Amino acid sequence: MPFKIKTLCGCISYAAKFIFNARFHLIVTPAGAAVLFISLFILIRSLVMRNSYEIVLSSAVLLSMLIMGITGAWKSRKLKTMEPAWKPPFPLTASFNNTLNEEKTQVTGIDAAIPLFFRMHFFVRGRFFLCGEQNKSCSVSAETSVQRGETSAQLTLDFSMSGMFQGDGYCKLRDIFGLFSFSCGQPQRRTLNVRSAPCFGKQIPVSAQSGAEDRRHKQSQDEERYYMREYTPGDRLRDINWKSSDRINTLITRISTDNQEKISRLEVHLRNFLSADKEKKIPLEALWLLDRAKARLAYFLRTIKEQNSSFVFDVRCAQGTWEIEDDADLDAFLEELGAFSFLPPQNETLDVIQKTGELYVFSTSCDIGLPGFLLTQNQRQVNLFLTANRHEPSRNKDKISNNKFVSVLDSSRLDNELLRFGDFASKGCGAPFSWFAGGKVKPLSVHANKMEINYAEIKL
């Protein structure tokens, strides 16, 4: 009997030590811990009851777990220096309504030999900040496995709205039974901006400010600064290329390629402002309205740029100003736009605002300073794109003379972009229910020369 008690105490001590390692080194999975406890319980009971069949069965399970644990621990130590790389698609775009992006995150650099009955898994864990708001974040988890003999894999990393993601990508060696999980390789940390899910609308005729200023075009390389033509009377003698003229026996004159051309500008405002009393606790509905306003702005800029590539945009947001001349500037701005959040209202100086030409304004129902801003621009043609929640009035019955106001379209003709709370869970985002404690966005009544309302709503 003393021998049996000593054996039982040894088993319990070994199990406690094993669970201690599992607690602090994440060796045993929940399923593995359950199998370990059940096997130990059966072994202890079989020793007391002297049931040889249960002793053999439980001992075999424990021995198998011990062999797999030693094998996995030994192999994971050899893989500590592995540096797997993960590259998300660019641009990384959100999606909603339970749809997933077809573009996957590419995982490479997993070229190690894996023991039998084991698989390499790649994980991405981090925090996602909705619309860049630091007080509105959720945990993100994504996982994929690498097939035996393969050195790369694909991972689904998707989000419901725009924002900023900060997370780590790392590998774990797991057995096919799901009992053990060993960390291996060096984690790779990334910070990613997520763009808004695209929206579509009708094309908008624009009237740019033509001839606002001149712009010079110069070739960057010295050998391309000039082109040559045949000499004509009146050309300066110092512009004659004597070497080329002597070679072809004809006078050749160098002409500079510097030229001037008129450009057309569009002034665009994104009013991502929110009153100070809501700064610390921004409702989720407000962030969804801002996300759709940013999507509408991105669609507007891309559509106009495709229609006329010579247009230059002067874009003003709460975060600053941007001058967009070409596609490279546009892509750089849209990449930053995804992480823009609300800022408190600012004092806008009128001396930096142009006094002529049409003005294109993108705003939300959260912008309580919008009516006052539009009042200061009453001498200009203002095109307002307002993103509102569904419970706002669908028709504005006010009328202003002198063609200063165009009544809003009936809401039944406009799409309602709906975001459901379950979309977060379907994309691996742990969204707390406390997000809905921020209250509702109050209706906003505004007037503009031309107005288009896009509705957005959040539901459980």
For 220-259, what is each residue's pLDDT tens digit? Answer: 444 344 567 777 665 677 778 887 777 787 888 876 554 4
For residues 264 and 213, the answer to whether their CB atoms sit within 8 Å is: no
| Pairwise CA distance, residues 231 & 222, whole Å | 22
Encoded tokens for 407: 């009544």
The answer to whether residue 299 scores a pLDDT higher than 90 is yes
| Angstrom distances, CA of residue 7 to CA of 3, 34, 49, 383 | 6, 22, 14, 83
pLDDT band at 329; cut points 50, 70, 90: very high
Domain with CATH 2.60.40 in the chain: 85-194
Dihedral Cα 394, 398, 403, 404, nearest 10 deg:
-90
Q: Which of 99, 455, 95 is nearest to 293 (CA)?
A: 455
Asked whether the beta carbons of 334 and 294 are under 8 A apart, the reply is no
Per-residue model confidence as pLDDT tens digits over 171-182: 999 999 989 999
- Measure the CA–CA gap between 368 and 343, rounded to whole angstroms: 12
Q: How far apart are CA 62 and CA 175, in angstroms?
A: 15
Identify the helix (H) or strand (E) that includes residue 118. Answer: strand 118-130
Beta bridge partners of 153: 107
443 pLDDT band, cuts 50/70/90, is: confident
pLDDT tens column, 1-29: 444 555 555 555 554 454 444 433 558 88
User: What is the chain's mean pLDDT, rounded?
Assistant: 78
Rg (CA), the chain: 33
**CB contact at 8 A, 385 and 269:** no
Which amino acid, residue 191? T
Tell me whether strands 137-146 and 416-420 are parallel, antiparallel or unpaired: unpaired
Residue 392: predicted pLDDT: 47
Helix (H, G, I), strand (E, B) or coil at 216: strand
Q: What angle do CA 324, 325, 331 make, to 5 degrees?
A: 55
Backbone angles phi and psi of 20, in degrees to 5: -60, -45
- Given a cut of 80, whether residue 140 has pLDDT beyond it is yes
Distances, alpha carbon 338 to alpha carbons 192, 255, 460, in Å: 10, 46, 24
- Measured CA to CA, the distance from residue 376 to residue 373 in angstroms comes to 5
CATH class of this structure's domain 85-194: mainly beta
Alpha helices by DSSP H, listed for 192-283, are 242-248
Give residue 63's pLDDT.
93
Pairing label, strands 226-230, 163-175: unpaired
Considering 97-106, 155-164, 251-260, 304-313, the range whose residues carry the highest mean pLDDT is 155-164
What average pLDDT score do residues 186-214 get? 74
Q: Where are the alpha helices (DSSP H) in 117-186?
A: none
pLDDT, position 407? 36
Specify the residue for token string 């991502």.
272
Which pLDDT score, from 0 to 100, does residue 182 have?
A: 92
> How do residues 85-120 score in pLDDT, each as one tens digit?
899 999 899 988 767 777 889 999 888 888 888 999
What digits encode the pLDDT tens for the residues 333-384? Answer: 999 999 999 888 876 654 445 556 788 999 998 888 898 888 888 888 889 9
**What was the pLDDT predicted at 379?**
84
